[in-house]
Amino acid sequence: MADSSIKEMLDNGSFLGQGWSFPPTFTRPTGAVLLVKEVEDIKQSLGILLGTALGERVMRSDFGCNLDSRIFDPMEPAFNTLITEIIRRAIILYEPRVDLDSVDLQVDQLEGRIEIFVNYTIISNNTRSNIVFPFYLNEGTNVEQ
């Protein structure tokens, strides 16, 4: 690859990747698909990975974390360890653009919610970043008083 090609690639951010936004969004005048790139593409990819059930993708049945299958598990230290390991393994296998620094859980039993803190370093530019993924154990229950 010529030096000018490498410089152009670095200038437009394509070394981090580019893809469809999630959820897919289309622009009105042209009907073109809205694209995301660089850090936003990585964040959305991690969100998709955490929110995908095993077997949900037809051509990649092993992709995802399958967190929904753990919705009724008791919230014990073993549960925290299991969830952390599932997420760690999925990110290492399916997001090669990052080095995983840590996965931490904050459990709120009263609200039925787990916040998943994923801290990572983007390999290509050594930038640290993080996402917080809410996992709701009581999702869909709207109880009014």
Residues of the chain with pLDDT under 50: 1-3, 5-7, 9-10, 13, 139-143, 145
Residue 6 has what pLDDT?
A: 45
Cβ-count burial of 105 within 10 angstroms (0-12 exposed, 13-18 middle, 19+ buried)? Answer: middle
Q: Are 95 and 44 in contact (CB under 8 A)?
A: no
Residue 34 has what pLDDT?
A: 82
What is the pTM assigned to this prediction? 0.74
Q: Which CATH architecture has domain 3-136?
A: Roll (3.10)
Domain segments of the chain as ranges:
3-136
